[in-house]
Amino acid sequence: MTDVLPLAGFVIGITAARRADELGALLVRKGASVRYGPAIRIVPLTDDTELHVATTRLLESPVDAVVATTGIGFRGWLEAAEGWGLGDALLSRLSSASLLARGPKVTGAIRAAGLSEDYSPASESNAELLQHLLASGVAGMRIAVQLHGEPLPYFVDTLRAAGAEVIEISVYRWVGPVDPGPVDRLLDAVLEGSIHALPFTSAPAVASLIALARRTGRLPGLISALSGPVVAACVGPITAGPLAALGVPTVQPIRARIGALARTVAETLVARSPRLQAGGRSLELRGQAAIVDGEWCEVAPAPMALLRALAASPGRVVSRRELIAALPGGGEEHAVETAIGRLRTSLGGGRVVQTVVKRGYRLAVDA
């Protein structure tokens, strides 16, 4: 028996722009093949006029509280301000405000800048930050909320409804990719069934993929794929929002971390892998491969499609017509017979797949 990495045999699509390489490397180390199709791109901080305008507005008068949501975003904000010649002024303004940090990473960024936080929730949640602010009373206060990539409408609207003036500091803006080709091809691969999971790290990437699918008439197919064979994994509930609005189920790690997201993808795919005993052999189906008696077996796409069709109803006779429908691109009876022969060879021969004369084929499931 050989050691098989948990994601060996699976192909995973990545739509992220920021930290895409980091996520991809984590998945590859677990044995996955990775396809990249960035659904968004990041506007560089120093080129972002909206961030410059928001920063200038913040500096116009004292601010009572600053909510910092991400470490990389907070550091990037300070670096951009420095590039605009506003670094010292921004640090001075922040030092006189009450700083609230969502979690340990942004706490570290605040301290690295020579500042100190006044509050950081143990849960690392924006909801707890909001409750802390509301409990202290925000009427008449001037509050800056540092965002990162996606808006927090409930957060800022609740503060405004409670009487606060809120300045939204949008650090990094997302726009569509310069070259939509890779994400367009990735979407096709999802619909064709050659992608087994899509991990998402931001709501804008999800929204961009959905918009592309809607524009090109592929949204029903995307919803069907993500609701069935393809695992939709999101780093957190905000990222999952656009999918939840379409009724698409998602899996999420307990902690909103890239590493935890990669583990969740691996655990979910392994848990969904069909396992059965047939022809005296132990079989586990892994994406585009199979593990037979603990040994790794490469299986070509057409034979793998038939193996999945047979494993969907273990022991049942599957007709040639059904198997033709399962073949990528369809075909005829001869194509089924050829693919079955190749499948038997890939599985090491034996009696795993049985021919039932004039009826079709079945997996010889052990009692």
- pLDDT at residue 329, as a whole number: 76
Which stretch of DSSP H or E encloses residue 144?
strand 142-148
pLDDT band at 1 (very low <50, low <70, confident <90, very high): very low
Query: Does the predicted TM-score (pTM) go above 0.85?
Result: no
Asked if pLDDT for residue 90 goes beyond 80, the answer is yes
Q: Is the dihedral of CA 182, 20, 244, 305 positive or negative?
A: positive
Tell which phi-psi region holds residue 293, choosing left (phi > 0), alpha (psi between -120 and 50) or beta: left
Asked if pLDDT for residue 273 goes beyond 70, the answer is yes
- Average pLDDT estimate for 29-44: 89
Q: What does each C-alpha distance from 64 to 107, 135, 178 come to in angstroms?
A: 18, 15, 39
- Average pLDDT estimate for 103-121: 92
- pLDDT at residue 172, as a whole number: 75
Contacts of residue 241, defined as CB under 8 A and 6 or more positions apart, other chains included, come to 203, 206
How large a percentage of the chain has pLDDT more than 90? 57
Asked if pLDDT for residue 150 goes beyond 70, the answer is no
- Average pLDDT estimate for 77-89: 91
Mean pLDDT taken over the chain: 90
